[in-house]
Structure 1
């Protein structure tokens, strides 16, 4: 690795991990860690191919086992695994933490920054991503929705700790804003994901159905209203209107894309979703705070059932 450039390890090289790794490789020395052996082999052989928009093939170091990175020094470790895998991923990286890398989570859902803080003494940044992508196959990811800002702020440390990574992201073509308290942005993205991702999964990944059905639009609005009540009860506030993208799409100001959210892709692939870290969070907090969340609870239960049904389906001969 070049000692003059930022040294970054991206943990989880799926859709968003791949997008960030491929872009950052233009301005930093980047390695990726992913458990998908076929994906890693393809990256080693042909580079990581980013499709959609500008397109590129990034030459990266890729590993499936954190032990192969023992003795390496990274300035930043960026976590983009599914929320349920954060604790396990961090545990496997303990040998890298002695040098005090900056730990950064851009993952969906709640609880990830808390895991990074509890499992290390490193400074921790938390952020959100408003772009979207999908994993196409070994060595290939697609950048579906581009040009939206990434928001980044400290949960343990100071806003100045964001500066070098934010500069690299901006230089790499991923516009980034920093803020002293990332929670305002986190609440906005959390509400959007907690409403739109499970709806996309229940509608079998047909994004047009999220906008073309009056009944679905009413359900989306009910869920967003319930989430807003929980956020207010927790003392949270929004950095931006979480449903602005939805409102602009309904008004015809944005096209209806073919991306219905990562949860729809998880269901199709028979993979565990992040429903517990998203909509499930609002159900649990609503119950704890005595805030009624009937629409969120129903959608949460339906997605849990869909997960089980799809897993059963894939087990059949």
Structure 2
């Protein structure tokens, strides 16, 4: 299989290097030139529990990657889904399978503008990673990955992708309800990513605060109400247990959230696809969301502090005044 990872950030580098080390034909694609050049010149430095390893995986800018791709794995930031898909159209044929493992809401809608639903596979993963610098990724902790085809008619193909992941020591299973799994992760990320970013702390650190559950309870309550009107039944106990598990250093408790890493690098975060997307759905359904609104605007203020403009569209203005 000719596999291309679109988005060679933290998770893209972790997944790509794992597959490549297990003899799959894998290429990384990213628009960060310094990162791509570092991998081309010196390989990708992977740091994990076993130590450091230089993985000489091919890496390219989108325009420099050629050939028909069998499996395109989308791990770019949600903020770049549209632009990266446009830059990778020359790699996609009618038989290319496209798998998204991205965070947030809205990615499926973007991807179906460029590929048919029959080609599209969707997944969520609890694995984490940190991009320490150009050509260097930290891949600590374990996790689980759920994958499902969008139509429900391509189970054999989904199983084949899962075999590739499991063979590469990335625990993967078939999802029984991938949309619900996506919402579960959105709920998790909409709580943990902003809190870790605002406190400049890892999940393990914020979990030691004695009033931690008083903070997360009302945030989750708002999210569950929005999910309910969207036809998604979320289990608060399950999401809370997932959060508790993430506080353990053996999972990702010592990991710095991707949102905090974005702020550190002066890049836009995925807040619009997490709390921001939830706020818009809440507004449409007249559901008050003061806790998620506060988290959203505090993160937007941090983005502005990094020199990123706060672009207020009509919906955002309405969210601010209602």
Relative to the length of structure 2, the TM-score reads 0.87
Residue 249 and residue 259 in structure 1: after superposition, are their counterparts in 2 closer, same or farther (change >3 A)?
closer
Q: Deviation of residue 205 (structure 1)?
A: 3.2
Deviation readout 1:154-181 (Å, 9 max, x if unpaired)? 1245222212111010000001011253
Per the alignment, residue 267 of structure 1 pairs with 263
> Is the 1:193–1:278 contact (alpha carbons within 8 Å) kept by the matching residues of 2?
yes
Per the alignment, residue 150 of structure 1 pairs with 145
Per the alignment, residue 317 of structure 2 pairs with none
Per the alignment, residue 19 of structure 1 pairs with 14
1:246 and 2:259 equivalent?
no
Per the alignment, residue 315 of structure 1 pairs with none
1:137 and 2:139 equivalent?
no
What is the SS of the residue equivalent to 2:238? coil
Residue 57 and residue 237 in structure 1: after superposition, are their counterparts in 2 closer, same or farther (change >3 A)?
farther
Relative to the length of structure 1, the TM-score reads 0.89
Q: Partners of 1:74 and 1:256 in 2: how far apart?
A: 32
Q: How many pairs does the alignment contain?
A: 304
Structure 2: where are the runs of 5+ without partners? Answer: 309-322
Q: Partners of 1:42 and 1:248 in 2: how far apart?
A: 35
Residue 57 and residue 164 in structure 1: after superposition, are their counterparts in 2 closer, same or farther (change >3 A)?
farther
Q: Structure 1 residue aligned with 2:296, among 290, 296, 300? A: 300
Q: Deviation of residue 292 (structure 1)?
A: 2.1
Per the alignment, residue 93 of structure 1 pairs with 88
Q: Partners of 1:260 and 1:222 in 2: how far apart?
A: 23
Q: Partners of 1:249 and 1:132 in 2: how far apart?
A: 10
1:81 and 2:79 equivalent?
no
Q: Partners of 1:149 and 1:255 in 2: how far apart?
A: 10
Deviation readout 1:34-71 (Å, 9 max, x if unpaired)? 1122211221222222111235332221101x22223x
Q: Deviation of residue 249 (structure 1)?
A: 6.3
Q: Partners of 2:208 and 2:104 in 1: how far apart?
A: 27
Q: Partners of 1:217 and 1:260 in 2: how far apart?
A: 20
Q: Structure 2 residue aligned with 1:127, among 123, 130, 135? A: 123
Per the alignment, residue 24 of structure 2 pairs with 28
Q: Partners of 1:254 and 1:88 in 2: how far apart?
A: 35
Structure 1: where are the runs of 5+ without partners? Answer: 1-5, 313-317
Per the alignment, residue 291 of structure 1 pairs with 287
1:118 and 2:108 equivalent?
no
